[in-house]
Amino acid sequence: QQSELNSFLWTIKRDPPSYFFGTIHVPYTRVWDFIPENSKKAFQQSHTVYFELDLTDPYTISALTSCQLLPQGKNLQDVLPHDIYCRLKRHLEYVKLMMPSWMTPDQRGRGLYADYLFNAIAGNWERKRPVWVMLMVNSLTEVDIKSRGVPVLDLYLAQEAERLRKQTGAVEKVEEQCHPLNGLNFSQV
């Protein structure tokens, strides 16, 4: 029963009440049906919504992209052991080959092409820091490819908030997410 599900919604008792809702970075269609009505109702009734990051802000997206890059003049081949780099390169070639068969008819109907999608996800991979390449590789699966084009839950809620003309904001800056990940050493990654 939906009413029995854990809502991941916390209420901060004040007037008017505030809510804290835990999200997950997956396509919203994977989780939307499992989000209880009390969480959806709290969102609908809110006037102001704050997100982890403002994923609707072009600066945020640009800063996230920039923070993933190795220092100028460095490439992944310079920092990875040769055997891991070669395995990674072969795996990405395999993914690029398989991607057309992983795409859905709906994605093709919306004008998505496998080469475009591959470049959108893995483009410039040789310039990225290892931790970001690891996250990228983890998202290059058939299931994840089939859901590309569907916004993650955070972005979906941000788009809905904008559509409903709610005031929005972010509680973190890109640097607050980026620097800790970039601070991991190679053995931790």
Q: Left, alpha or beta for 91 (phi > 0: left; psi -120 to 50: alpha)?
A: alpha
Average pLDDT score over residue span 121-147: 93
Domain borders along the chain are 9-183
Please give the single-letter amino acid code of residue 33: D
Q: Model-level pTM?
A: 0.79
Q: Tokens 């269609």 appear where? A: 29
Residue-wise pLDDT for 82-120, tens only, equals: 999 999 999 999 999 999 999 999 988 888 889 999 998
Q: Determine contact, residues 131/180, Cβ cutoff 8 Å.
A: no
Helices (H) and strands (E) in the chain, counts: 11, 4
Residues in the chain: 189
E strand residue ranges, 23-121: 48-51
Q: What is the pLDDT of residues 4-32, one digit of tens each?
A: 556 678 888 888 888 888 888 888 998 89
